[in-house]
Structures are given as structure tokens and as C-alpha cells.
Amino acid sequence: MPVPGLTGVRMVAGGHEHTIALLGDNTVRSWGANSSGQIGNGTTTAAPPRSPRSPP
């Protein structure tokens, strides 16, 4: 399923209720459920795919 505004995707990984995409510029975007902090935005609030994260 396409995600509006998300381009240059190299890889995608999906969890139970969250998704992580590695982009061509080596940033990561993550979105979805976040009850255990699994999308890495420093909260436990669900999030849309907009904040890039650098891989560790």
C-alpha cells in the first residue's frame, strides 16, 4: 500500500501494528501503533509516517 509522501524506500519491515521503512538516504521512517515505544519517537503515542529517524 503506498504511503503518501514516502519516496526512495529501500526496505520495509512490519511489526504487529507498526511499520519501519529504510530510505535511500539512510534515514528511517516509522509509523503505526507505539504502545511499547517500538517506532522510536521517544513516546508511546501512535504516529503517522512523517518524522525521519537515523539508523543506529
- Flag whether 16 is in a domain: yes
**Tens-digit pLDDT profile for residues 6-41:** 889 999 999 988 888 999 999 888 888 889 888 888
Residue 55 lies in a domain: no
Q: Does any domain span residue 53?
A: no
Domain count along the chain: 1
CA atoms within 13 A on the CB side of 50: 3
Residue at 33 is within a domain: yes
* Cα(42)–Cα(30) distance, integer angstroms: 12
Q: Look at residue 4 and tell me if it is in a domain.
A: yes
Report the pLDDT value the prediction gives residue 53, as an integer from 0 to 100. Answer: 53
9 in a structural domain: yes
Does 23 reside within a domain? yes
Domain residues for the domain of 41 are 1-45
- What is the DSSP-derived secondary structure letter of residue 42? S
Residue 30 counted as domain residue: yes
